[in-house]
């Protein structure tokens, strides 16, 4: 069967796209070890395992030439003073980029390279963030409502979650004095053991 063009709609004021093939819901329990304040994480989890973020994805062959695309929705909330966020990842094929278009809500895209460069970009409706090749990325919801984004990246990129699970991101986005603030991650580790 030939591969025909297709079209779909993304609601600008929230909700699921009119077409998707895969829906993933990531719960708080799946984020074990990712938040800096582990006591706050355990206390929140004890109240119930809430959904932190969801992804609606169009399925495409994961080969060079194809583009994976979909909608990610990070729900509002905090673990201690750290805002709800995605796990974050490098692309397994490190030299692949990604484009984010913010549809709804407010937040930050936290980025870093294996060499130690970092960047925090603001996400507001209508805003585009370009993630160059080699930059790990994590979406953080700093608002009171859902943070919804359209993303597009090369279908052969793959995901390396392990590096971030082991070492975290160098920077955290936390609430300080009622406002989002970027701070050093006290638990960041580059894998070197301390003596």
Residue 169 binds ligand PA5, judged by CB under 6 A: no
Give the DSSP letter of residue 89. B
What DSSP string describes 133-180? TT-EEEEEE-SSS-EEEEEEEETT---B-HHHHHH--SEEEEEETTEE
Both tokens of 67, joined, read: 């583009």
H or E element at residue 46: helix 38-46
Q: Rank residues 11 and 162 by Cβ distance to ligand PA5 and give the closer one.
A: 162
Q: 128: part of which helix (H) or strand (E)?
A: strand 128-131
60 binds, among Ni ion, ligand PA5, none (CB under 5 to 8 A by kind): none
Shortest Å, Cβ 122 to ligand PA5? 16
Residue 41 contacts which entry, Ni ion, ligand PA5, none (Cβ below 5-8 A, type-dependent): none
Of the residues 83, 84, 151, 169, which one makes contact with ligand PA5 according to CB under 6 A: 151
Task: Kindly write out the interface string for residues 92-121 of this chain, putting x where it contacts Ni ion by CB under 5 A and - elsewhere.
Answer: ------x-----------------------
- Say whether residue 108 binds ligand PA5 (CB under 6 A): no
User: For the chain, what's the residue count?
Assistant: 195
The contact pattern for Ni ion, residues 56-95, with x = CB under 5 A and - = no contact, is ----------------------------------------
Sign of the Cα pseudo-torsion (34, 114, 93, 103, in order): positive
As a whole number of Å, the CA-based R_g of the chain is 17
How many residues contact ligand PA5, by CB under 6 A? 13
Q: How far apart are the first and last CA of the chain?
A: 61
The reply to whether 88 sits near ligand PA5 by the rule CB under 6 A is yes
Distance from chain centroid for Cα 133: 16
Give the shortest CB-109-to-ligand PA5 separation in angstroms. 9
Nearer to Ni ion, 98 or 112 (CB): 98
**Sites of contact with Ni ion (CB under 5 A):** 98
């Amino acid at each position: 069967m030939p591969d025909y063009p297709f079209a779909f709609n993304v609601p600008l004021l929230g909700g699921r796209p009119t077409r998707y093939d895969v829906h993933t819901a990531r719960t708080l329990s799946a984020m074990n070890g990712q938040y800096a304040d582990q006591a706050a994480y355990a206390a929140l989890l004890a109240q119930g395992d809430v959904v932190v973020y969801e992804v609606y994805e169009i399925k495409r062959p994961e080969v060079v030439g194809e583009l994976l695309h979909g909608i990610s929705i990070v729900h509002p909330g905090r673990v201690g003073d750290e805002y709800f966020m995605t796990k974050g990842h490098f692309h397994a094929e490190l030299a692949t980029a990604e484009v984010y278009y913010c549809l709804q809500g407010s937040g930050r895209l936290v980025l870093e390279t294996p060499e130690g460069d970092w960047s925090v970009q603001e996400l507001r409706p209508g805003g585009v963030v370009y993630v160059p090749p080699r930059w790990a990325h994590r979406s953080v919801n700093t608002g009171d409502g859902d943070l919804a984004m359209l993303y597009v990246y090369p279908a052969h990129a793959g995901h390396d979650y392990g590096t971030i699970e082991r070492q975290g991101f160098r920077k955290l986005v936390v609430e300080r004095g009622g406002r989002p603030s970027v701070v050093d991650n006290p638990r960041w580790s580059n894998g070197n053991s301390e003596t």
